[in-house]
Amino acid sequence: MSDANIEVLRLEALRKTYNPGLPNATEVLHGIDLRIGRSDFAALVGPSGSGKSTLLNLIGLLDKPSSGELYLRGQPTSGMDDAGLTALRGSAIGFVFQFHHLIQAFTAIDNVLMPLMLARGKPCAQDVQRAQDLLAAVGLKKYADAKPNQLSGGQQQRVAIARALVTEPALLLADEPTGNLDTHTASEVFELFRLFNRERGCAILLVTHDPRLAPMCDRNINLVDGYIVSDTKN
Amino acid sequence: MRLLRSLWTEWILAMGFLREGRAQSVMIMIGVAVGVAVIVFVTALIQGLQANIIERTLGTQAHIRLLSSDEVNVLLPAPAGTQLLVQEDKRAQRLRSINNWQQISATLDQLPNLTAVSPVVSGPAFVRRGEALESVALVGIDLTRYQQIIPLQRYVVSGQLRVGADDVVIGKLLADDLGVRVGSKLRLDTGQQNSAVVNIAGIFELGVRELDSRFVYLDLRQAQSLLGLPGGVTVIELTVANIFEADVIAAQIERLTSLNAESWIETNAQLMNALTAQSLSTNMIIVFVAISVAFGIASVLSVSVVQRTREIGILRATGATREQILKVFLIQGAVFGLCGSFIGIAVSYALVWVFNTLGPGLFYIPLSKTLVSLSLLLATLTGVLAAAVPSRRASRLDPVVAIRYV
């Protein structure tokens, strides 16, 4: 890893077991070691059931590993409590989900502002400006006051991307972000990721099934049955 | 204000959720409103009714009456080694003055929890007019002091309220029985070789048969001389600030003066019983209505938590803490309580107005500010408490599971 590519995430011997101690205990991840740098634009690929989503949840601090250590921006996370994890997640990580998951009761701009409001309360003018800029960057300047149900699937996903980026996270996690979009919209969304990775220096980790998407990323991490079987640069 | 600012985001989220589930929100608020309206109206109704009953009862009697203790036989102790067998007749209680009543009355004037002190001399007499003879109760009063106990002026139906210089005021039924009116003369006879001819200055109607057919109010001094108790009084009548403490105050005064103190609570035990039972049933209604309102709020919020599982997951993923999620739902509960009770109070104002202006007019229902603000507070608190269980569940949702919830 070059100097310019500062480490954002490091996994050391990360394991995850579901139902530990029970007869139906299953280890899903068998000691994952992984480093992701600031300029990385990586795709996490693998067949279903390989543990991709589990790994993504662990990286996103939504779930806790059974053993091993996860460093986010150099900070070990195993000893942190729920409040600490929530705060770190809020500031360091952005999420984009497959089903564009916006809060239906709020307008596009409020959805984009939500992570800031949750972290700091009432947004200041600067925050609002940043949210507007992000909406403009994803091409939705006109739709700031639209409710999610007035937007198309692709538009909603772009709002979700703007929301994920509003806290200027070090790492953006996307779980099948183009999963239920048509080809054209999917490539538009993909280009946005590319743009933010380049211009804002935000590391991106995509989980995808899409055979066309993975080769377009800089790096492919292949997960099979809870092991990383290959990690290649394209 | 700082609290409000720190809750800003939670407030915005709660309001957004409430607005989105508009139909649900409106329905549960109506539910709360009905509950609050019932509670406020029933409470006000019972308060009005009880105040009316108490005023009717206490409007014509003192809260506490002080009497001298009964005379008893004093037995000489038997010498040691002998047993005393006594067949005793209780002594007849003659009309007697309270010892030292001036001093006692002056002392009572100083007590802060008494609002009026009025020494009275009362005893039996006959009144005669021509062939007609009626037994009456003479009540000798100091008019200004006595008016603070019973506002006689309010009950005068003809003539003037004036005692002294052979002027008396008598009850309406007595006047009817004797066929007298204001200005007529009566002969009062106490059987103590004392009699006087008095002039009827006024006629009152207290609305209590016993009093209206027997009471003759006259000047304290004239009554003293007619009853053969010069300078004495037989009863000291008192009123207290808080009528429900009358029995406690009576006990205190009994210890203080070693006189017999009878409170209205003792002499109207049946009434007190009825009032207590009434209050009990009102409280039962309040508690059960409040419980059903609480369950209504809790069930609506439980459904809402399930419906919003995925959104809760997203919020958690975008940096919401467990506490923030908890507060979002607690606020919704509080808003249900507060808004519902605003509507409910408006409704109960309308009900009370209808009752007071169009109702049977038997009594007036007051709607006190205390009751209104208390029910607002209680409803809001109930909302928060009812929201506790669903809110807790919302805050404990596992974000990983919640996000995938469909």
Every domain of chain B and the residues it spans: 2-56+272-404, 101-258
Task: Return the pLDDT at B93.
Answer: 79
Separation of alpha carbons B119 and B107, rounded Å: 13
- Which residues of chain A have a CB within 8 Å of the CB of B399? 62
Instruction: Give the count of alpha carbons within 13 A of B231, CB side only.
Output: 4
- Which residues of chain B have a CB within 8 Å of the CB of A166? none
Q: Which amino acid is at B161?
A: L
Q: Is the dihedral of CA A101, A102, A103, A105 positive or negative?
A: negative
| Terminal C-alpha separation, chain A | 15
Residue A4: pLDDT band (50, 70, 90) is: low
* N residues, chain B: 406
Instruction: Give the count of alpha carbons within 13 A of B84, CB side only.
Output: 9
Cα–Cα distance list, B234 to B39, B108, B123, B168, B189 (Å): 47, 16, 8, 19, 18
Q: Is A90 on the interface with B (CB under 8 A)?
A: yes
Whether A1 has a pLDDT exceeding 60, the answer reads no
Which one of A117, A150, A166, A167 makes the best mutation probe of the B interface by having the most chain B beta carbons within 10 Å?
A117
Separation of alpha carbons B123 and B100, rounded Å: 19
* Count of beta carbons in the 10 Å neighbourhood of residue A134: 24
Task: Return the pLDDT at B33.
Answer: 92
Instruction: Give the count of alpha carbons within 13 A of B353, CB side only.
Output: 6
Min Cα separation A221/chain B (Å): 22
- Which residues of chain A have a CB within 8 Å of the CB of B324? 118
pLDDT digits (tens, 9 = 90+) for B382-396: 999 999 999 998 888
ipTM of the complex: 0.85
Span A39-64+82-233 CATH architecture: 3-Layer(aba) Sandwich (3.40)
Q: Is B24 on the interface with A (CB under 8 A)?
A: no
Q: Is B401 on the interface with A (CB under 8 A)?
A: no
Task: Return the pLDDT at B342.
Answer: 92
| Cβ within 8 Å, pair B319-A115 | yes
| Cβ within 8 Å, pair B9-A117 | yes
Cα–Cα distance list, B283 to A140, B15, B39, B122 (Å): 58, 33, 9, 42
Whether the CB-CB separation of B238 and B64 falls below 8 Å is answered with: yes
Whether A214 has a pLDDT exceeding 90, the answer reads no
Separation of alpha carbons A8 and B95, rounded Å: 104
Whether the CB-CB separation of B67 and B259 falls below 8 Å is answered with: yes
Whether B326 has a pLDDT exceeding 90, the answer reads yes
3 state SS of B113: coil
3 state SS of A7: strand
Nearest CA in chain B to A63: B400
Query: Against a cut of 0.90, is the pTM above it?
Result: no
- Which residues of chain A have a CB within 8 Å of the CB of B313? 101
Q: Is the dihedral of CA B342, B347, B349, B352 positive or negative?
A: negative
Separation of alpha carbons B390 and B380, rounded Å: 16
Worst-scoring range by mean pLDDT, A136-145, A176-185, B27-36, B172-181?
Answer: A176-185
Pick from B13, B310, B317: which is nearest to A60 by CB?
Answer: B317
Whether A226 has a pLDDT exceeding 70, the answer reads yes
Q: Is A101 exposed, middle or buried (0-12, 13-18, 19+ CB in 10 A)?
A: buried
Q: Is A52 on the interface with B (CB under 8 A)?
A: no
Task: Return the pLDDT at A100.
Answer: 63
Whether A162 has a pLDDT exceeding 80, the answer reads yes
| Cβ within 8 Å, pair B9-A121 | yes
Whether A195 has a pLDDT exceeding 50, the answer reads yes
Task: Give which of B321, B319, B404 is closest to A97, Cα–Cα.
Answer: B404
Paired tokens of B323:
């506490």
